[in-house]
Amino acid sequence: MSMNSSESVEMYVKSVAELGGDRQPVPIGRVAERMDVTPVSANEMMKRLGSQGYIEHQMYKGVLLTRAGLTMANNIIRRQRLWECFLVDKLKLDWARSHELACDLEHATAEEVVEALVSYLGSPTHCPHGNPIPEADSQELLETGVLLSELATGHSGRILAIRPESHEVLAYLHHRMLLPGTEVTVVEAAPLQGPLTLHMNDQEVVLGLNLASLVLIEELCCP
């Protein structure tokens, strides 16, 4: 019962959570991609995480988070999003950069710092990218909205959140003003996984489908 979760272990558990490991088995190959390691390395680590009780490995299918794993993931995500709030709201740092800066800090943050940060920030509920901040030791991974990539042509919605994959993605979306709160309408969806054409802020914006799948939308029923 060692409470030794190294930075590496924490990053893997967070990755599994962000790949949906709380609901469906996540293929280890996906984890390897996300962590930028070889499948062999990811496999080794999954074995370790399994023996430490954070994941359950279904052969040839993927890994699922256990309760302990989900709790750990939520606590890491909690820390990260709180730091993002601090970096953006207080330090006025770049919205797109905040994600990776917070990722460095999240592993070095004691519980008492997290709780003090919560009060200091006024108990924020969402990070600057619109993602919900889990409660401490939460067992559920909150999901908001539908993917912009799955919004039907002609339909409208308001951007709720951006899944913060990388600095690159965030900077790109920030530059096109695809930010939480913005209203968008899908004008056209090109065939063969082609890009979406969106109407927003009285402008037309063309967005790749993979990028659109990182944008979470609250569909507006009466546009």
How many alpha carbons fall within 13 Å on the CB side of residue 39? 7
Interface segment toward its own copies; rule CB under 8 A; list 18-26, 51-59, 71-79, 88-96: 88-96
Shortest distance (Å) from residue 127 CB to its own copies: 16
What's the CA angle centered on 220, arms 217 and 221, to 5 degrees? 140
Q: Which of 52, 53, 113, 106 is nearest to 75 (CA)?
A: 106
- According to the binding rule CB under 8 A, does residue 168 interact with its own copies? no
- According to the binding rule CB under 7 A, does residue 47 interact with DNA? yes
- Of 112 and 202, nearer to its own copies (C-beta) is 112
Q: How many other C-beta atoms are found inside a 10 Å radius of the C-beta of residue 211?
A: 19
Amino acid, single-letter form, for residue 93:
L
Q: Which does 93 bind (CB under 5 to 8 A by kind): its own copies, DNA, none?
A: its own copies
- According to the binding rule CB under 7 A, does residue 28 interact with DNA? yes
- According to the binding rule CB under 7 A, does residue 44 interact with DNA? yes
- According to the binding rule CB under 8 A, does residue 193 interact with its own copies? no
Q: Which does 175 bind (CB under 5 to 8 A by kind): its own copies, DNA, none?
A: none
Torsion angle (degrees, nearest 10) of CA 49, 55, 57, 62 = -110
Total residues at interface with DNA (CB under 7 A): 26
Interface segment toward DNA; rule CB under 7 A; list 39-47, 104-112, 119-127, 205-213: 39-47
Q: Which does 87 bind (CB under 5 to 8 A by kind): its own copies, DNA, none?
A: its own copies
Helix axes 28-35, 7-18, angle to 10 degrees: 120
Among 48, 57, 97, 167, binds its own copies (CB under 8 A): 97
How far apart CA 56 and CA 58 sit, in angstroms, is 7
Q: Which of 189, 174, 177, 179 is nearest to 158 (CA)?
A: 179
How remote is the C-alpha of 203 from its chain's centroid? Answer: 27
The residues binding its own copies (CB under 8 A) are 87, 90-93, 97, 101, 104-105, 107-110, 112-113, 116-117, 119-120
